Structure 1
Amino acid sequence: MSAALDFFKTMDFNPTLDIGSSPPSHLQSLISSNPNIKIYTRTSPHFDPLKSIWNLKYASNEPLALIRPTNVSEVSTIVKFCVANDLPLAVRSGGHDLFGRSIVPDAVILDIRELNSIKLSDDEKTVVIGGGIQTGDLVNFLDAKGLVTPASLAGIVGWAGWAFAGGFGPLVNAYGLGVDQIVSARIVTSDGGVKEADPELLWGIKGAGGAFGVITELMIRVHPLTKMLGGMVLFQFDQAGKVIEEVQKILGTETVPKELCIGVHFSKRGGAPMLSMAFSWVSEDIEEGRTWLERIKGLGNVMMDMVIESKFLPLVFHLHRH
């Protein structure tokens, strides 16, 4: 697991350094009445690392403060305070929101990355996860149990935010989208109330995610899997049209096994453009998967075959590094 994942899983907190001697006046009453809540103001040495996000277009955004709750009660306290004092509040986990909504200028940022618990059910069919769990931590935990759940290929992405955006990844044909894995949810609403989502609210959460409140806990489905095929097949750029057309014919006219998942995008390697095809075979029947792999490779001139037999965990980080 990367150092970045370990660094942000928990964060040291020193009130003298992180709150500072002159914290924002808006937060004085919250600070004085809740001395154990981790509040990082702009003078904190941890402020800039904590506010870093994926889309650098918004990297210069300066929130009022970042607050890292360690339990649901603290989330409730922070939400109540912001609503009562008319302070803008944004929630972040992995910080990969495309439009920078997890790092809003002059807002209180509720950084839920320390809500990262994982508990496996006795029947090993579900796990209960904290709303701030990072993909890498979840995949790593499940890997040790011989289990998987649909997830992003990037370990530093927050699982919940990824799932609420639909949750597409290499396991979805076999098991469904990330959002399809959600069985139940605990949410802190705008009045600070903590509730278990009823069927109607759960339906809404699956479509709109955090629009209904702060998701602090989810129960999600998990699935047994100890080996699969996955990786990239790189084709010559000038054959992209032909390869994509042939893939569309296969997907449109044949009964394709649900274990097969293919994604296509363009990339560069060594400065040269090429067609990159993400190939996943989500089954322990590796030989059938290799048959499909060879068929896909036969659609054009292959520059490089990076598909490997692996468990899901090494595949996640193998693809992310490239």
Structure 2
Amino acid sequence: MKTFEQLRIVFFGTPDFAVASLRALKDAGANIVAVVTAPDKPAGRGMHMQGSAVKQYAVAEGLPVLQPVSMKAPEFIEQLRALNADLQIVVAFRMMPQAVWDMPPMGTVNVHGSLLPQYRGAAPINHAIMNGDKVSGVTTFRLKHEIDTGNILLQKEVSILPEDNMGTLYEKLMLAGAELLVTTVKRLAAGDITEIPQSDVPESELRHAPKIFKEHTLIDWTRPAKDIHNMIRGLSPYPAAYTMLKDRSVKIFVAEALTEAHNATPGTYDTDHSTYLRFAAADGWIYVKELQQEGKKKMGIVEFLRGFRG
């Protein structure tokens, strides 16, 4: 049996969430024989070709990088096979065919930003906050055919504080996931993990985390103020919840909810033109603290109201 340092590991990942795990493995002394990431794509004002966050880190550290357009391409499969990996790690990467994830003798391990089996899907961090959860976490598990359903290896809980939004929870889970991954690989090398099949939780008790599209970010002001506040938190800073104000869309990044009876029509707004802008919800008000009107920069409410005529 190989030690942690002897295991030949291929790492798959793309965004900065994955960089934390790759860095943690490398700092711990793992033998990363290659990094697989997305092809370069145009980015920035000049739309110059730019590598992913994972590629930039890998290149800086002198790690070999593969960027297949197709995961099923025969030439990529052969490149991967030639690496003779013992284990593959996947963090924030696209779907992989079985020919890839089933290749190494120790299989492929994924890091997911939830306590599986809850929040299977592409956006677990957003949905946990949007649903008003108080606890989230990270899970390491083995890949299999059905998405996010493989045997659980290890889990770690992370508290969701009232002031957390998607951005802050993302950072906490990113670091927790990196730490948990290193522990997982070390214990796999030592043969010290008992895999746990994901329990057959009734569908009615499962919360899912599907990808979020623009149509999911429009605020429904007929909902309770607390739910709207959680939605704003769960979508901030990206992709951001939005509403319409004077026929222009406005993204809301920070807000406060106040539950109180009123006679205002949900969705109508009220302002003193200097310190507050609030929207009526079903059972109270949402006070906007930070926003960005279409075509303008992000700003605090006082700065925004200086130029607002409503």
TM range (shorter): under 0.3
TM-score scaled by structure 2?
0.28
Scaled by the length of structure 1, the TM-score of the pair is 0.27
Larger helix proportion of the pair: 1
